[in-house]
A and B are shown apart, each in its own frame.
Chain A
Amino acid sequence: MSPPPHDDFGELYRSHGARLVVQLYAYTQDLPLAEDLVHEAFCRALDRWTRVSRYDDPVGWVRRVAWNLAISDRRRRNRDRGHARDLMAGPMPGPTPDRVVLLRALATLAMPLRRAVIMHYLGDMSVAEIANVEGATENSIKQRLHRGRAALAGHLVEPRPEVSNG
């Protein structure tokens, strides 16, 4: 028997949208793009809401769509024009020094590692959930998390830029 539908699309949007944006921002390092992708994922869910609302985890569906869009967008950028570099190489509006350190550290990770640590730390996803989204084994995800965490830690122990109070 199907679970009862989640009636309130709006509640789902409001309670999970911003958190999803943060995850995709960490991955794409482009906040407007992350907002766009998350909104698009919710639009696709709404277009199929009769069906999606009956899933055990509608948020998981939206999250997967949002990640798919982000990954596809990145590949499209690489493919289309070769603009493979991260947007963070250019100016970003008012990031804090701490944020810069983490984003720069994330940018050094290979994409699968980057996704794994973001899903784990920002998405609170289990190894099994990440493995499901990534189409990888749980052991593979554990390895990615281990390597990603070690690489990030190496960057985070470096001296951080001084915070200007002026």
Chain B
Amino acid sequence: MADSRDQVSVAFTELAVSVMPEVRLPGVEAAHATVRRRRHRRVAVLAAVVAVVLLVPSAAFALMRVRGDAGPDIGGTSAPPPSSPTGTASPTGSATPSATGSPQGDGLHVIRDAYAPDGRPMDDALLEIPAFPSPGAQHCPAGETQYTHGGWQYEVAQDTPENVSSSIEEVATGDVDRDGSTDWVAVISCEFGPLTYMNQVVAFTKHGNEPYRLLGQVFVPDTNYLAGEPDVATDGVIRLSVTGPAETVQETYERRSFQWNGSGFVSVGSPVVLPIPDPTALSLTITPSTVSGPSTMLSVTVHNVGTSSPDYLELMFRASLLDRDAGRLTSISIRPEGLVADLRPHGECRGTAGCAWVVELEPVPAGQSATGRFTVSFPTTITGGNLLVDIAGVTRGYGPRENAAGGSLVVPLAAG
């Protein structure tokens, strides 16, 4: 036993000795500069909030009229968003028409921007959130909560290292209460430090330009389990996946169903435990190997080196920049060839690594490769950093997390 302890201890010591010389921290001056910027920004945000409080009601009403933001209502003729019909194995993306998708490059076809505004109907909404029942959820949103870009954040106190954040993770639509109008089923998370992370599934209804109204709490997973992949069948039954326990290498995966009984949601049938499918083997090639400012066209080739093909692909970009201004991630723009707008970052892009851009792509058949082009632009104030590019395959009905064996590449950013 003493030998194994020594061996482990030596291995860690060797790791520390070999990594320490490679560490490149931005330094004390950079930290001071960041804090100065954030303090200035807080002042500016405060001023902006005052302005918004005064101006927004009429502007929001006008905007909703212009966008037709009431969403699909009675009659349901508008195209609902991101969920795919239960059990369909349709060709990639056919369930989600894209206003902007078009063939591109040498074969990678864009389906849509995963976080495009029109694909996230509840991203900016005032929602009544049922209290999270778990222990430690006292800081989580409860009651009327304004979500912005799908997120909500709250700093508990100046002297704690914790912030609370909540996100609208996924949304599905369908007539869950059988009244002939469309309802919204949202997976809503709450995160408070490392020990409190939970989500719940909530249903809302909405008529015309009226605000979303709480229909009911559909499901709250047990501690350390997470719900996802909401789907509303034509008979109004809501199906969800439940995975967990969190933070383990091996998770379980099951499907559960719920139905509206006139006053609340009840479980239908027994949970169905599903095998976790073999992941699709994907890898990436990217040229050039460095992104230079102000703009670089990246050629991204996806290789499917496995023996099967997922329903569609997700290509994710994450930035880690030397310009550590809060909200800096929005200063990068990424535009796939074939889209008319830059990809929309997820969340409010605050913090160090809280922001991602994701574009959904048509699948690459087993044994084949396909290439697409992406224009990456960033301002000269950014002096360096990295762009993480990550590919994953998604098989509907199983969720990306169980079928996500892909490749990651880190592309250095260099000031131009």
Seen from chain A, the residues whose Cβ lies within 8 Å of a Cβ on chain B are 9-10, 13-14, 17-19, 21-22, 25-26, 30-33, 35-44, 46-48, 51-52, 61, 64-65, 67-69, 71-73, 75-76, 78-85, 87, 89-91, 93, 96, 98-99, 101-103, 108-112, 117-118, 121-122, 134-135, 149-150, 152-153, 156-157
Sampled A-B contacts (26; CB under 8 Å):
A17-B25, A18-B20, A21-B25, A35-B25, A39-B25, A39-B30, A39-B31, A40-B324, A48-B159, A64-B161, A73-B354, A75-B191, A81-B316, A81-B356, A81-B358, A81-B390, A82-B399, A84-B404, A85-B404, A90-B409, A99-B19, A109-B249, A121-B8, A121-B9, A122-B12, A122-B16
Asked if A36 and B320 sit within 8 Å, CB to CB, the answer is yes
Beyond A22-B19, A32-B385, A47-B38, 11 additional pairs, beta carbon < 8 A: A21-B25, A26-B12, A36-B352, A43-B35, A43-B38, A52-B159, A69-B352, A90-B408, A111-B247, A122-B12, A153-B8
Asked if A22 contacts B11 (CB within 8 A), the reply is: no
Bound: A85/B8 CA distance, A: 24
How far does the alpha carbon of A89 sit from the alpha carbon of B388 in the complex, in Å?
Answer: 13
**Is B22 in contact with chain A by the CB < 8 A criterion?**
yes
Cross-chain contact A110 with B19 (CB below 8 angstroms): no
Q: A21-B25, A31-B19, A81-B358 are in contact. Are A39 and B324 (CB under 8 A)?
A: yes
A-B contact count (CB 8 A): 200
Would B189 and A43 count as touching, CB distance under 8 A? no
List of A residues within 8 angstroms of B25 by Cβ: 13, 17-18, 21, 35, 38-39
Interface presence of B405 (CB below 8 A): yes
* Chain B residues in 8 Å Cβ range of A64: 161
Count chain B CB atoms within 10 A of each CB in A38, A76, A111, A134 and give the residue with the most.
Answer: A76
In the complex, chain B residues whose CB is within 8 Å of the CB of A68? 161-162, 193-194
Query: Which residues from A are CB-within-8-Å of B47?
Result: none
A30–B34 Cα distance when bound, in Å, is 23
A46/B31 contact (C-beta < 8 A), A83-B406, A111-B248 known: yes
CB within 8 A of B15: which of A61, A83, A122? A122
CB of B287, distance to nearest CB on chain A (Å): 15
Q: Report yes or no: A26 in contact with B159, Cβ–Cβ below 8 A.
A: no
Query: Are A110 and B18 touching (Cβ within 8 A)?
Result: no
B404 touches A82 (CB 8 A): yes
Chain A residue at minimum C-beta to C-beta distance from B393? A82
What residues of A have a CB within 8 angstroms of the CB of B400 in the complex? 81-83
Given contacts A51-B158, A51-B159, contact A83 B8 (CB under 8 A): no
Taking the complex as formed, is B343 at the interface, i.e. its CB lies under 8 A from any CB of chain A?
no
Contacts of A73 in B (CB 8 A): 352-354
Would you call B23 and A22 a contact (CB within 8 A)? yes
Contact B246 A43 (CB under 8 A): no
B178 within 8 A of A: no
The complex places the Cα of A21 from the Cα of B24 at a distance, in Å, of 9
B38 to chain A minimum Cβ distance, whole angstroms, is 7
Q: How far is the CA of A146 from the CA of B26 in the complex (A)?
A: 36
| Interface status of B386 (Cβ within 8 A of chain A) | yes
B95 to chain A minimum Cβ distance, whole angstroms, is 19
Would you list which residues of chain B between 182 and 200 have a CB under 8 Å from chain A? 189, 191, 193-195, 197
Residues of A within 8 A of B32 (CB): 46
Which B residue sits closest to A150, measured CB to CB? B4
Q: Mark B380-391, 1 if CB is under 8 A from A, else 0.
A: 000001101010
A82 to B406, CA, bound (A): 11
B194:A149 contact, CB within 8 angstroms: no
Name the B residues within 8 Å of A82 (CB-CB).
314, 392, 394, 399-404
